[in-house]
Structure 1
Amino acid sequence: MMDTKVLSRDDIDNETLEIIAEACQISTKDIEDIYSCVHQQLDHVSHSQPGRSEWFQIVLSFDEGIELERWCRALQRVVRANAVLRTRLVQCRGLGVLQVVIKEDHATEHLSGDVEEYLRDDQARRMDFGVPLLRSAFIGRSFVLTIHHAIMDYWSLTTLVQQDIVMAFLGEAPPERPQFKEFVAHCLAIDEGAAKAFWASRFDSRRLPVIFPPVAPGHTPYPSQAVEKEIVLTHQLGPGSISPTHVPTFAEAAWALTEATYADSDSISYGFVLSGRSPTLGGLESTLGPMHVEVPMQVNLNIQQRKGMTVEQLVKDRAASLRQLQAHPALQYGLTNISLVNEAAQVSSKFQTLFNIIPALPPKFSAASDAPAPIRMDRVLWQARTLPALILRCKLESINRDGATQGPGATRILLKTLYDPAVLPERQLHRILNQFEHTLRVLAEVPLTSRLDRLPLFNKHDLGEVMRWNHDGALRNGRSIDAALGALFPGIPSGRCKVWLASLQNPNELAPIGSVGQLWLEGPELSSASSPYLLSTLQQQVPPWVLSSDSHHPQPTGLFIRTGYLAKYIETGSGEDNELCVVGRQENRVKINNQTVQLEEVEGLIMHHDDVQDAAVFTKIAAGRTQLVAMVVPRCTVTPGDTDSDSSSDTEAIFAGEIKEMRGQQLLLDSVRRHAGEGFSSERHKIPTVWHAIEQFPYLEEGSGISGLHTVDREALRRWLKLRR
């Protein structure tokens, strides 16, 4: 049942009013106003956990001679004029979370001691239901302002401190701003039908997006660690430059490409932060309060299509997307409501990356021409809420050729990343950030007509690592690459053997570390391999990524083998450890609903079911569309009469009764289907729609497959399945 919307204290009965006052530990006469929350406030509150409230801390330093009490009075004056700064949150049955404006004058504490110690203690203090969401303190001549994100966004915070309080401090009248309550009324009046139609048009359920980074089932992400990086883009005329006004669009386009690289998908999703302060609000955009929005973005790159997307098409697509969002009243519809418009929106709303482009704080106050230089902005601290696992915050600064701010020469991107190390190990995060920078520079340098699948996206940092691994022969914990490959490929020679992963999109380069690539082997002794499998796949020619003009590959040391397998390097999270993970055969990489599916991944999940001994998954065209078909071997003894070798005489003649379908296994198949549904809850295109229980699979002859992977005679199963009606 939907909560009743409240726009005034008069909407509250006396009994509820007493409950609200008790929750705030005040008298009812101290309550000035009450109204509902907007969606973004609810998002910040609903994800909060004890010790994990989302807040800002801004730290200022005051030189000797600056009157501290004068600053306190200026802050008090601004708080008195803006009800949102005197707001508390209270949860009421049937009314949801309400904003309660309190009649009180703000008081700043004056303390002695260490600022760092105060910041740590302040972060541990409660800032949730029923308590003030703004507090301030002077510790010596350092001023700390702590504000909950539920009542203040980044624009409001910087405007509050750099403009409104400064003007009051200088004896000027602060701007008269619309009250946040007016913005609440605007949001509650959004046309439901128009909002649903608008958001439904932005998500394509024919291509469900992939979420990056993937989060293990049962793990609740928390981005507790931070990494900072600086990127400088020049703006001289000619190639290798983009206009300063276009940097935000190119940055988002670069992230979309970067995420697609690691997600192994043309359709990806991430969250994007917008200020929400559109001119369509009719003056409300200047209010103080949380008007920002976090919206899911589904981006379909069409890299693998015959006529692939170009750089220009991608950049224009992202620019048009932002323009449409900023101009539409449904921008404030709320993440929960957006997730309900269709299946793709539901998947996209579970994003695990939040991308945010924000202006940088100037080194000193500049809102007023005679602002007091002896007051310095030391830093802004920010604690994120529980979700998502990766947050990218890009502050943009204009710099001149001497490095000073506010010059025309270049744009400096100060990239601060918050991440969950349990989801992304630090070394892999650095690789991702290097890849983002490389991709951004490539987009700025290449002609706009360049196709995305022909971009040189293998960065120099990854090249150095791969070269070092192959030179040292060490892949993990001192274990040689030869030893690792020997466990995978029977008959691999004991001499030196190099491992290369070629890009799936661009055959002229290698794949970034952490992305899926074609597995190639190189070595002088590969011709002596005893494995029939290896001998059958020898490639006498040099691969295209070695011959490419952009290649930094050293002189080839022997034959190359294109194994036919796909693999990726994975970070183990323990120091320098990396592992080579084979994900499956390239011919088992299929498309379902325009989404890539690796059949071995589906088989692996099915085989984790306790009652399944073996599994094989195939595609079959049925009912006019390509479907996944799963064949499973139960962990049970087959009794007479439980199998069916198929009534087709052709089938029996071909297989001589080797492949027999089992009857009476519907309960098992239903259980396995539910298991697959839980494992692929956000990737439903990977769930097989047709299921068969098989007594036993036929197997290939010993040594003809790859050790540790399936050695099932897939071709025999495929022929059997083809003859099934």
Structure 2
Amino acid sequence: MRNSQIEDLLPLSPLQHGFLFHALYDQEVQDSYVVQMVFALDGALDAAALQAAAQALLRRHASLRAAFVHHKIKEPVQVIQREVELPWREVELGGLPADERAAVLARAIADDQQQRFELTRAPLLRFVLVRESATRHYLLFTSHHILLDGWSSPILLQELFALYRNGADVQALPRVTPYRDYMRWLTSRDAAAARTAWRDAFAGFEEPSRIAPATTAPAVPDTVRIDLPDALAQALTRLTRGLGVTLNTVVQAAWGLLLGRLTHRRDVAFGTTVSGRPPELAGVEQMVGLFINTLPLRLQWRPEESVRELLLRLQHEQSALLDHQHLGLTEIQRLAGHGELFDTLVV
């Protein structure tokens, strides 16, 4: 890559380091961090205008033009390129018999999901537009998680359709707060204070909380869905309001108690995912990039402690760590004295 094509060089966030490691480690299987969304679009559609809108997103957001370079350098970096070509493909189903279209669509979606990204080549996203008829299309938007978090995705999609409506005029949209501002904030944090806080939080923690056999074999993720009854959801809402705690705290406490029963321990740890968007950074709520971080949560419980006392204590303990959520998981686990603290995560 010639220097004239490079717009910026940025460090990686803690979780980006983790995603990069997993992408390099499990290169022979489906990448678990390839994220795909599929949208059904009804009505007349201008495919060229939609493609132009998607290309405009790349011009607007420098973070979408990042490649992750790691070879022959001391630390991995994000290389922000000035211009990148939008990966865009169109699939035509209109000429197929009606009974074949669903199968071809399902195969196109599955094939796209399984296609890995080369993290050293930007952009780490792609679009596939499937045309079933003049008034029915499917848009496949696929990206690597190292590029975007769940908060960013709806922002990006809102802008995509705004650009589709306005003729890809990026000047008509609000100013972008650059991802570089977040990286500057990240590197300005008090790392020493964060290390002390996490070391204190896990002082005396004796052993990791694992409920599955350790394995290094790669695996394809699967999903089991269980819907909670409305009555239970309403009861949980009443409980949180009455105690002045968040629903997140209740779910974390419930999992911690179950984890304690499964491991026969009263001091357990599991993972959590935090948004990582600092409220003091202007414009952070509309920024596009990867801000989330995976962190350990320690729950110590005592049989004589009431549910109310447990929930209030847990929320207080987690609030005390809010200013230190920028530290990487690997370093926190090292500070806790263990190579791996948990094998479950609650979001």
Q: TM-score range by the shorter chain?
A: 0.7 to 0.9
Q: Structure 1 residue 119: deviation in Å?
A: 2.2
Q: Structure 1 residue 107: deviation in Å?
A: 4.7
Task: Give the equivalent residue in structure 1 for 2:126.
Answer: 135
CA distance in 2 between counterparts of 1:239 and 1:293 reads 26
Specify the SS of the correspondent of 2:110: helix
User: Which has the larger strand fraction?
Assistant: 1
Task: Give the equivalent residue in structure 2 for 1:146.
Answer: 142
Amino acid at match of 2:188: A
Q: Is the 8 A contact 1:35 1:100 kept in 2?
A: yes
2:344 counterpart (333, 346, 353): 353
1:294-305 matches, cutoff 5 A? 294-303=294-303
Q: Is the counterpart of residue 42 in structure 1 residue 37 in structure 2? A: no
Task: Give the equivalent residue in structure 2 for 1:261.
Answer: 261
CA distance in 1 between counterparts of 2:335 and 2:22 reads 22
Alpha carbons of structure 1 residues 101 and 352: separation in structure 2 relative to 1, 3 Å: same
Task: Give the equivalent residue in structure 2 for 1:106.
Answer: 86
Q: Structure 1 residue 134: deviation in Å?
A: 0.9
Q: Structure 1 residue 275: deviation in Å?
A: 0.9
Task: Write out per-residue CA displacement over residues 672-717 of structure 1, whole angstroms, 9 at most, x where no aligned residue.
Answer: xxxxxxxxxxxxxxxxxxxxxxxxxxxxxxxxxxxxxxxxxxxxxx
Task: Give the equivalent residue in structure 2 for 1:167.
Answer: 162
Alpha carbons of structure 1 residues 152 and 296: separation in structure 2 relative to 1, 3 Å: same
Query: What is the identity percentage for the equivalent residue pairs of Structure 1 and Structure 2?
Result: 21
Q: Structure 1 residue 40: deviation in Å?
A: 0.8
Amino acid at match of 2:163: A
Amino acid at match of 1:55: V
Query: Could you state the TM-score of these two structures normalised by the residue count of structure 2?
Result: 0.83
CA distance in 2 between counterparts of 1:340 and 1:120 reads 38
Q: Structure 1 residue 264: deviation in Å?
A: 0.8
CA distance in 1 between counterparts of 2:209 and 2:89 reads 45
Alpha carbons of structure 1 residues 188 and 237: separation in structure 2 relative to 1, 3 Å: closer
Amino acid at match of 1:126: R
Alpha carbons of structure 1 residues 209 and 63: separation in structure 2 relative to 1, 3 Å: same
Task: Write out per-residue CA displacement over residues 642-697 of structure 1, whole angstroms, 9 at most, x where no aligned residue.
Answer: xxxxxxxxxxxxxxxxxxxxxxxxxxxxxxxxxxxxxxxxxxxxxxxxxxxxxxxx
Task: Give the equivalent residue in structure 2 for 1:180.
Answer: 179
User: Which has the larger helix fraction?
Assistant: 2
CA distance in 2 between counterparts of 1:120 and 1:152 reads 21
Specify the SS of the correspondent of 1:88: strand
Q: Is the 8 A contact 2:87 2:125 kept in 1?
A: no
Specify the SS of the correspondent of 1:279: coil
Q: Structure 1 residue 135: deviation in Å?
A: 0.9
CA distance in 2 between counterparts of 1:70 and 1:148 reads 24
Task: Give the equivalent residue in structure 1 for 2:305.
Answer: 309
Task: Give the equivalent residue in structure 1 for 2:39.
Answer: 60
Task: Give the equivalent residue in structure 1 for 2:96.
Answer: none
Task: Write out per-residue CA displacement over residues 295-334 of structure 1, whole angstroms, 9 at most, x where no aligned residue.
Answer: 011111123xxxx2210122112322343333x0x31111
CA distance in 2 between counterparts of 1:235 and 1:262 reads 23
Structure 2 unaligned blocks of 5 or more: 94-103, 132-136
Q: Is the 8 A contact 2:253 2:299 kept in 1?
A: no
CA distance in 1 between counterparts of 2:330 and 2:76 reads 15
Q: Structure 1 residue 233: deviation in Å?
A: 4.5
Query: Could you state the TM-score of these two structures normalised by the residue count of structure 1?
Result: 0.41
Q: Is the 8 A contact 1:235 1:242 kept in 2?
A: no
Q: Is the counterpart of residue 158 in structure 1 residue 154 in structure 2? A: yes
CA distance in 1 between counterparts of 2:235 and 2:148 reads 41
CA distance in 1 between counterparts of 2:70 and 2:236 reads 56
Task: Give the equivalent residue in structure 2 for 1:94.
Answer: 73
CA distance in 2 between counterparts of 1:143 and 1:311 reads 47
Amino acid at match of 2:256: A
Amino acid at match of 2:330: T
RMSD: 2.5
Q: Structure 1 residue 219: deviation in Å?
A: 4.4
CA distance in 2 between counterparts of 1:86 and 1:175 reads 19
CA distance in 1 between counterparts of 2:50 and 2:130 reads 14
Q: Is the counterpart of residue 335 in structure 1 residue 334 in structure 2? A: no
Task: Write out per-residue CA displacement over residues 467-504 of structure 1, whole angstroms, 9 at most, x where no aligned residue.
Answer: xxxxxxxxxxxxxxxxxxxxxxxxxxxxxxxxxxxxxx
Task: Write out per-residue CA displacement over residues 416-447 of structure 1, whole angstroms, 9 at most, x where no aligned residue.
Answer: xxxxxxxxxxxxxxxxxxxxxxxxxxxxxxxx
Alpha carbons of structure 1 residues 153 and 174: separation in structure 2 relative to 1, 3 Å: same
Alpha carbons of structure 1 residues 300 and 63: separation in structure 2 relative to 1, 3 Å: same
RCO comparison, higher one (Cα < 8 Å, 6+): 2
1:118 counterpart (99, 103, 108): 108
Specify the SS of the correspondent of 1:170: helix
Specify the SS of the correspondent of 1:227: coil
Q: Structure 1 residue 335: deviation in Å?
A: 0.9
Amino acid at match of 2:227: E
Q: How many residues align?
A: 319
Specify the SS of the correspondent of 2:299: strand
CA distance in 1 between counterparts of 2:177 and 2:47 reads 29
Q: Is the 8 A contact 2:10 2:78 kept in 1?
A: yes
